[in-house]
Amino acid sequence: MVSALAALCVAGTVTAFAQEKIKATTTIGMVGDLVKQVGGDRVEVNSLMGPGVDPHLYKPTSSDAARLSRADVIFYSGLMLEGRMGDLFAKLARADKPVYPITESVPRSQLTEPKEFEGHYDPHIWFDVSMWAETVPTIIKGLSEIDPAGKATYEKNGAALMDRMAELDEWCKDTAAQLSEEQRILVTSHDAYNYFGRAYGFRVIGLQGVSTVSEAALADMSSLVDFIKKQKVKAIFVETSVNPAAIRRVSEDAGVKIGGELFSDAMGEPGEMKQGVDTGTYDGMVRYNMTTIVNALK
Ligand SMILES: [Zn+2]
């Protein structure tokens, strides 16, 4: 009887263990999306920042702190993107929680340091798809350390994801090539697209600088209006996670249309279909932005 009960307990434990998923908590949706794809069935992903949320200004709530401390592993973007969460991540790391800024595997030589950002790197690397793919090894490493039994799965999923991202990067280059070099001027609310510009050949002008913490200055607005008129820019763009007021004013003053609403620091709602793609995914968000930009500037 005792041995039967013991056997039952062991069997019960094994079953429960097999069904128990690794709990990963992430910040922005773009990090969560990659962790989901690398983790597959073994990992349950919980992203703190949903659609329309600005990570530069995001302050963790007490329920976020609880969700983070319950997580088995935490992935965030890093490079000061989540500027107000740094202390919390440091505290969790000191308490031996596995915490990974996924941009740590991107070579520093590829990063830029815009002068307005006071000696910090520009954190918006997800819009250069080939750079964002370089974060995948950190995710594979982080999941494998917490779940060594899943290592081969994470490596396989990660390699497949990097292949899909290489295809997406090619698609971005081909789509951008529909515009002439002079047509490739991207004017938006804040400087989230510098790496995008470098990768796909756009001149990028953001009204608010690299972080949304500072507001657009009036002088910047009038010089931007002059620039738009002089360059005969066909369209400028608002962003889903940034207040559109300043860009709307520039649009009126320069007599230029708003070419659409771009995703910058947050993805769309899960399953939100726009132009035939799901903007609640990283892949869909990238395709939607590129199509919107190219169609408006053509
Ligand atoms: Zn930003």
> Which residues, chain by chain, have CB under 5 Å from ion ligand 1?
192, 265
Do residues 235 and 103 both lie within one domain? no
56 alpha carbon – ligand 1 mean position (Å) = 6
Mapping DSSP onto H, E and C, the string for 85-131 reads CHHHHHHHHHCCCCEEEHHHHCCHHHCCCCHHHCCCCCCCHHHCHHH
Shared domain check, 129 and 183: no
- Spatial contact of 175 and 294, defined as CB atoms under 8 Å apart: yes
Other beta carbons within 10 Å of 79: 20
* 7 Cα: distance to centroid of ligand 1 (angstroms): 55
Residues 6+ apart with CB under 8 A from 208: 189, 190, 191, 214, 215, 216, 242, 246
pLDDT in the model for residue 119 = 84
How far is ligand 1, taken at its centre, from the CA of residue 76, in Å?
14
Domain of 115, in residue numbers: 20-168
Indicate if 184 and 149 belong to the same structural domain: no
135, 168, 201: which is the final residue of a domain? 168
270 and 249 in one domain?
yes
* pLDDT value of position 210: 62
Q: Is there a single domain that holds both residue 186 and residue 264?
A: yes
Q: Could you tell me if 121 and 40 lie in one domain?
A: yes
Are the CB atoms for 108 and 78 separated by under 8 Å?
no
| Domain C-terminal end among 168, 200, 219 | 168
Evaluate whether residue 11 is within a structural domain.
Answer: no
Give a three-class secondary structure readout of 192-245.
Answer: CCHHHHHHHCCEEEECCCCCCCCCCCHHHHHHHHHHHHHHCCCEEEEECCCCCH
Assess whether 59 and 157 both reside in one domain: yes
Other C-beta atoms within 10 Å of 238: how many?
Answer: 20
The reported pLDDT for the residue numbered 90 is 93
Distance 178 CA to ligand 1 centre (A): 27
Q: From ligand 1's centre to the CA of 40, what distance in Å?
A: 28
In three-state secondary structure terms, 264 is coil
Do residue 188 and residue 66 come from a single domain? no
pTM of structure: 0.90
Residue 241 in tokens:
């996670």
Number of domains the chain is built from: 2
Distance 112 CA to ligand 1 centre (A): 14
- Same domain flag for 202 and 290: yes
Per-residue model confidence as pLDDT tens for the chain (298 residues): 444 444 444 444 444 455 699 999 999 999 999 999 999 999 999 999 999 999 999 999 999 999 999 999 999 999 999 999 999 999 999 999 999 999 999 999 999 998 777 789 999 999 999 999 999 999 999 999 999 999 999 999 999 999 999 999 999 999 999 999 999 999 998 889 999 999 999 999 888 766 666 666 656 788 889 999 999 999 999 999 888 998 999 999 999 999 999 999 999 999 999 999 999 999 999 999 999 999 999 9
- Distance from residue 212's CA to the centre of ligand 1 (Å): 6
| Distance from residue 211's CA to the centre of ligand 1 (Å) | 5
Q: How far apart are CA 213 and CA 83, in angstroms?
A: 10
Using the mean position of ligand 1's atoms as its centre, give its distance from the Cα of residue 265 in Å.
5
Coil vs helix vs strand at 69 = helix
User: Residue 167 contacts by C-beta under 8 Å, 6 or more apart in sequence?
Assistant: none
Instruction: Tell whether 2 is covered by a domain.
Output: no
1 part of a folded domain: no
Are residues 196 and 98 both part of a single domain? no
Q: Which is nearest to 237 in space by CA: 177, 281, 176, 193?
A: 193
Which residue, 140, 168, 196, sits at the end of a domain?
168
Tokens representing residue 142 in the block: 């982080």
Are 153 and 43 part of one and the same domain? yes
Q: Is residue 8 part of a domain?
A: no
Same domain, yes or no, for 247 and 275?
yes
Cα(52)–Cα(173) distance, rounded to whole angstroms? 27
Tell me, in angstroms, the distance from the centre of ligand 1 to residue 53's CA: 10
Q: What is the CATH number of the domain that holds 239?
A: 3.40.50.1980
Q: Reduce the DSSP state of residue 76 to 3 states and report it.
A: strand
